[in-house]
A and B are shown apart, each in its own frame.
Chain A
Amino acid sequence: MSFIDFQQVHKTYPLGKTEVHALRGVSLQVDEGDFVTISGPSGSGKSTILNMIGCIDTPTQGDVIIDGIATSTLNDKQITCLRHQKLGFIFQNFNLIPVLSVYENVEFPLLLGAGKNDPYASWSAQEKRQWVQHLLQEVGLGDYANRKPAELSGGQRQRVAIARALATKPVLVLADEPTANLDSKTGDQIITLMRDMNQSLGTTFVFSSHDPQVLDVADHVVKIIDGQVDADYRTRTL
């Protein structure tokens, strides 16, 4: 069974007095450990698919199944727990909490409570501290732990966002156009970093991008045009 399973998903948004059909019957599957790119032009529905996978949006029609659970059957509290336990997020605008330091931003998801099945549920404060420091080392920001986000470059902020997304050891990390606000060199570094994390930790990565170069590093490419799947193929097998 696939880790992510979209079954004929439709999504309609109200826009003033009209409606926008963001998704028109999207079906796709993602396996655990995949490094998936969802590509397509602006307004094609990439972010909407990521929001559906991230359980922060719900389909108007069809089913989204994450790890065997149909998200439409969960209430707000259960969905929030699911996001916390299984998912990590990386945003185009980084969305770091400005009043927290780099270290505190990465630590933040660990402080939102833990379910009994969470990998960090039994960690001591010392173990949590070591894990956060390890993640910061991995993303190359070990010396920036006490800096505030405003003191970092765009690439450094996105590295913090990656470390934060991995803090709870999620099964799946979603990245919405993670390189869009970065120059090409820094963007390549970020993609490489995510790829390394995917391979070293076995975390599934799904990210949206309209950068053709990014497609080269993905295991699995889903092309979306006008809210429909235009192409869905694997570049290499897991």
Chain B
Amino acid sequence: MQTLIEINKLNLFYTAFHALKNVSLKIPEKAITAFIGPSGCGKSTLLRTLNRMNDMIPGTRIEGTIAIGGTDIYSNEVDVETLRKKVGMVFQQPNPFPKSIYDNIAYGPRLHGIRNRQQLDEIVENSLRASVLWDEVKDHLKRSAFSLSGGQQQRLCIARALAVNPDILLMDEATSALDPISTLKIEELAQELKDRYTIVMVTHNMHQAARVSNQTVFFLNGEVVEYADTEKLFSNPSDQRTEDYISGRFG
């Protein structure tokens, strides 16, 4: 598998707090990579550096490089908005806009200049199909996004992210607010999407990482403890701390 994201000696500080310590990772394309670890271990922080959502938190400082497709995303020639278009994100809580289902999906494409009604219709349909929501909502696209259940809202948010045609999809504990059945649906969806997208997911549920991902990274106190194929990491971890964590001795 080819490397898409290459993180090299990354250090991140929130003013005085050293949140990520010397992180180096190579994330392959068209696969699911899971970040696991106890709360506060830096897994979400690392995820948010990949689309530079951390830029908005005052006092954040970064050292080292993150290259996506060979370009350092923190260099001057990178336009943050274009980066975020290519690196989509789904959040912990479903956060649909207070608009109709249609307008939620069309929001991104409109933002990036697509006005043609027919083209928008197509994007909306394709995105909703891709997130396996189309059959449930196709007859009431004008209805408010809040009329959907939590799981449907989260799939809507995935569709919304897919509508701007990203290469990478970041999922920040995207199922932690959902019931088990909705969680399962999102996991199946992720499996389907990985043929077309590179998926990086943060999860505090290691069973989810074991079920869904191809590679798993275990974080502890801002450091990468172990990075391996998911199967190997869960069956034969090489670090004692990984073994302690996955066997439930802490975290």
Partners in one complex: no
* B interface residues (Cβ-Cβ under 8 A, vs A): none
